[in-house]
Chains A and B, each alone.
Chain A
Amino acid sequence: AQSVTQPDIHITVSEGASLELRCNYSYGATPYLFWYVQSPGQGLQLLLKYFSGDTLVQGIKGFEAEFKRSQSSFNLRKPSVHWSDAAEYFCAVAFTGTASKLTFGTGTRLQVTL
């Protein structure tokens, strides 16, 4: 069965510092990959997605992610974090033939210090 691993439960960065959140998936086929953000008490907002093509994808709010097939990874990056980026971040994967079912990682909570 497919699985998604986000090895960092909690990350703290200073405002203005760069950020990288890790995501690894386990499955034989090439997945469709997503990053979502969830603020406290809110639903999930899509930051970016990778379906095919260029392995470096740009998203909203200045985020980007790079798909590395050889490492089964889809890490999320931002060059300069803002205090408003503090939230929970979820990596998710989906595969054709599974009814667009998303499999999520356990999330990484980002704290931003001023």
Chain B
Amino acid sequence: ETGVTQSPTHLIKTRGQQVTLRCSSQSGHNTVSWYQQALGQGPQFIFQYYREEENGRGNFPPRFSGLQFPNYSSELNVNALELDDSALYLCASSFGLAGVREQFFGPGTRLTVL
């Protein structure tokens, strides 16, 4: 069974640029959630995708957008990068939406915005 993988591991961008982060969900999982973890903070929910549709969004501006593909992998896109976007971005996968499902986290992508 393959766990959740994310790419790239690290990324450095400059303010105003755009970035795409990728996540492959665990085998058999159809739900992907994205979290932002700023330094010294707990992860914050960005949004969730279920069967290629957005299914819930946290308090993040529209320049944070995502996609989920038919194989349930996912992308997180951030436009017009700001310095405060520097963080560890975590992807978590789970199966289904009924009730509360255990989520399995990937190792994260460390984004630095200069």
The size of the chain A interface, using a CB distance under 8 A, is 26
Interface size counted on chain B using CB atoms at 8 A: 29
Q: How far is the CA of A4 from the CA of B44 in the complex (A)?
A: 12
Contact B42 A107 (CB under 8 A): yes
Residue in contact with B107 in the complex, picked from A42, A92, A98, CB distance below 8 Å: A42
Contact of B99 among A92, A96, A101 (CB under 8 A): A96
State whether A106 touches B43 (Cβ < 8 A). Answer: no
Residue of A nearest to B107 (CB): A43
- Our count of residue pairs bridging A and B at CB distance below 8 angstroms stands at 67
Contact A101-B48, Cβ < 8 Å, known A90-B43, A106-B41: yes
Complex interface: chain A residues within 8 A of B103 (CB): 100, 102
Once the chains are docked, how many angstroms separate the CA of A42 from the CA of B40? 14
Please provide the 9 A-B residue pairs with the shortest distance between their CB atoms, ordered closest to farther.
A99-B56, A104-B42, A43-B105, A44-B105, A32-B100, A43-B107, A101-B45, A94-B100, A106-B42
Q: Which residues of A does B touch, CB under 8 Å?
A: 4, 32, 36, 41-46, 49, 51, 90, 92, 94-96, 98-107
- Residues of B in contact with A (beta carbons under 8 Å apart): 4, 31, 33, 35, 40-45, 48, 50, 55-56, 58, 90, 92, 94, 97, 99-108
Other than A44-B92, A51-B100, give 14 A-B pairs with Cβ distance below 8 A: A36-B105, A41-B107, A43-B90, A46-B104, A51-B99, A90-B42, A94-B100, A99-B97, A100-B56, A101-B48, A102-B45, A104-B43, A106-B41, A107-B41
